[in-house]
């Protein structure tokens, strides 16, 4: 678990802690970089609690003790130190905002990678591999992610389609049934038209897989929710990071389905590759003449 996940776990568990343990939680959340250099007596003093309270706080989060907790926090902070979220400045040079964008993207990918639950991914992969039809729904910046997903799954011999129009989504939803699946993709998890069509999908008995933030209306509707909690302000950087994260998760799901389908699929993909060669331009580079050769005289 990295620091992002640990701090998130503390925030989520806070309401279930004792009042004295909540004081420790509040101090850790506000001063994580200071805590990794503290002794247990120091943290107890700063949080105005007893040392046994600090131990109980750590154990409530499933750690053996303060040293185990502190080690996890320190490792996470060290790995994420160079990938802090960025804010653009009008005075930034190309070098500066290029660095900010790449570092933020890498940081978000690492955070989401560590957040994703393997059991949930396995359940989603199994569902997609067995589905009669797989439909991808998304609006705005999520629409091209859906188009990319359709392309990937269609190559896997999966009956796949992508819809970014509310009318087409409604028609699609009403034609689905048990054994079909919809992957609903949203950066906010609150788009009204998407919520409407997903409810129709559930009414028809199809499975709903969501790629969206947790604790949102869309996530609550999901049969299999894949939570994508990108920790950024809702600005330009969010649009970039969440879109890329969604694309990578689609890759994970596609690879998982390909592995489940096995050797037959591999032969199919080789056939596609051979068939596509005719659509690509041949490399007609002029051959390099070797010194002392008679190529020019021979018409080569």
**Superfamily, domain 117-276:** Glucose-6-phosphate isomerase like protein; domain 1 (3.40.50.10490)
pLDDT recorded at residue 300: 46
Q: Classify residue 116 as exposed, middle or buried by CB count within 10 Å of its CB (0-12, 13-18, 19+).
A: middle
pLDDT recorded at residue 286: 53
pLDDT recorded at residue 196: 97
Domain residue limits, the chain: 3-81, 117-276
Give the side-chain half-sphere CA count within 13 A for 213.
16
Distances (CA, A) of 47 to 6, 36, 205, 215: 18, 14, 51, 30
**Options 1.10.10.10, 1.10.620.20, 1.10.1270.20, 2.60.40.10; which CATH number does 3-81 get?**
1.10.10.10
* Cβ-contact 106, 83 below 8 angstroms: yes
Q: What pTM value is reported for the model?
A: 0.68
| Bridge partners (DSSP) listed for residue 137 | 163, 184
List phi, psi (to 5°) of 225. -85, 125
pLDDT recorded at residue 271: 73
pLDDT tens sequence for the chain (300 residues): 545 567 878 888 899 999 999 999 999 988 888 899 999 999 999 999 999 999 999 999 999 999 999 988 887 776 654 454 556 677 888 988 888 788 878 888 888 888 899 999 999 999 999 999 999 999 998 999 999 999 999 888 889 999 999 999 999 999 999 999 999 999 999 999 999 999 999 999 999 999 999 989 999 999 999 999 886 545 554 567 889 999 999 999 999 998 888 877 766 667 767 677 777 776 555 555 555 544 444 444
């Amino acid at each position: 678990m990295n620091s992002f996940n640990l701090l998130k776990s503390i925030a989520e568990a806070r309401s279930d802690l004792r009042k004295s343990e909540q004081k420790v939680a509040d101090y850790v959340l506000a001063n994580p970089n200071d805590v990794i250099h503290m002794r247990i007596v120091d943290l107890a003093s700063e949080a105005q609690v007893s040392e046994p309270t600090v131990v109980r706080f750590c154990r409530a989060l499933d750690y053996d003790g303060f040293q185990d907790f502190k080690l996890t926090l320190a490792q996470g902070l060290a790995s994420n130190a160079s990938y802090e979220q960025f804010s653009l400045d009008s005075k930034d040079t190309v070098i500066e905002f290029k660095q900010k964008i790449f570092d933020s993207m890498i940081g978000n990918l690492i955070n989401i990678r560590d957040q994703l639950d393997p059991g949930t991914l396995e359940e989603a992969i199994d569902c997609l591999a067995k589905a009669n039809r797989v439909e991808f729904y998304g609006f705005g910046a999520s629409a091209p992610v859906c188009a990319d997903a359709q392309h990937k799954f269609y190559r896997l011999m999966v009956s796949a389609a992508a819809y970014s129009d509310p009318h087409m989504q409604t028609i699609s939803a009403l034609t689905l049934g048990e054994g079909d699946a919809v992957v609903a993709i949203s950066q906010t998890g609150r788009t009204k038209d998407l919520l409407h069509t997903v409810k129709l999908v559930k009414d028809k008995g199809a499975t709903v897989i969501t790629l969206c933030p947790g604790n949102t209306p869309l996530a609550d509707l999901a049969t299999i929710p894949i939570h994508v909690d990108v920790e950024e302000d809702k600005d330009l950087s969010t649009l970039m990071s969440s879109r890329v994260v969604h694309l990578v998760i689609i890759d994970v799901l596609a690879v998982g389905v390909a592995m489940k389908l096995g050797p037959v699929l591999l032969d199919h993909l080789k056939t596609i590759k051979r068939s596509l060669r005719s659509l690509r331009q041949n490399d007609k580079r002029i051959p390099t003449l070797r010194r002392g050769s008679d190529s020019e005289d021979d018409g080569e």
